[in-house]
Amino acid sequence: MSITHYLTLAIALFSIGLIGVVLRRNLLVAFMSIELMLNGANLSFIAFSRYLGDMQGQMAAFFIVILAAAEAAVGLAIIVLLFRRQGSVQSSVFQNLKDKVGV
């Protein structure tokens, strides 16, 4: 297995995540897609770390895990809040904020 394989997997994870955020209408799925993107970055860090024989990349991966956990705490709280207000987690429900154009 060369670095290319790992990188391909990392980029695939990242792209699936990005497409998921853009296309999926369910907020929880969009949220999971963000985690997927972060994990793609994580895998890429670790693969490079191994390839370069340098520990900094692995350290970065640990910090990204922490970061993802912190984001999950706040993100899920916001989604719960929205569900309480609107009774739905479909993003199509939340379209109150937009340009109100006048003359």
Partner 1 sequence: MAEIEQNFSFSQLWHLGYPTLILVIAAFTALMTSIMRFKRSFLVTSIVSALGFFLSALGTIFQIKAEVKGLFFGLEFGLYGQVLALIIALIGLVVVLFSYRYWLDYEQEGKKEIIPETMALMLFSAVGMQLMLFAQNWIIFVLSLEVMSIALYILVGIRRYQVNSAEGALKYFLLGSVAAAIMLMGISFLYGATGSLDMMSFLKAFSLLKLPTYSAGILVKAGLLLVLIGFIFKIAAVPFHFWAPDVYEAAPMPVTGFMATGVKVAAFGAFFRILMGIPYISFDAEHNRLLLNFLGLIFILTVVVANMTALRQKSIKRVLAYSSIAHAGYLLLGVMSYIKHQGQGSSHELEQIKTMFGSLQSILLYLAVYSLLTLGAFAVLTNLSKKKDLENIEELKGLAGRQPLLAAALSVFLFALAGIPPLGGFFAKYYLFSQAIATELYLYAVIGILFSAVSLYYYLAPVVAMYFMKTEASQEQVQSEISTPFYSKLLIVGMMVLVFYVGLFPQSVLDLF
Q: Are 37 and 18 in contact (CB under 8 A)?
A: yes
Q: Smallest distance, Å, CB 99 to partner 1? A: 7
Binding positions for partner 1, 34-53, rule CB under 8 A: 34, 37-38, 40-41, 44-45, 47-48, 51-52
Residue number with CB closer to partner 1 (5 or 96): 96
Quote the least distance from Cβ 5 to partner 1, whole Å.
14
What phi, psi does 15 have (nearest 5°)? -65, -40
Whose tokens are 């990242």? That residue is 14
Q: Whole-angstrom Cα distance, residue 36 to residue 16?
A: 8
Strand partners, 90: 26
Give 48's contacts (C-beta < 8 A, 6+ positions apart): 3, 57
Question: Under the rule (CB under 8 A), what is the footprint of partner 1?
Answer: 7, 10, 14, 17-18, 21, 27, 30-31, 34, 37-38, 40-41, 44-45, 47-48, 51-52, 54, 56-57, 59-60, 63-64, 67, 70-71, 74-75, 78-79, 81-82, 85-86, 94, 96-103
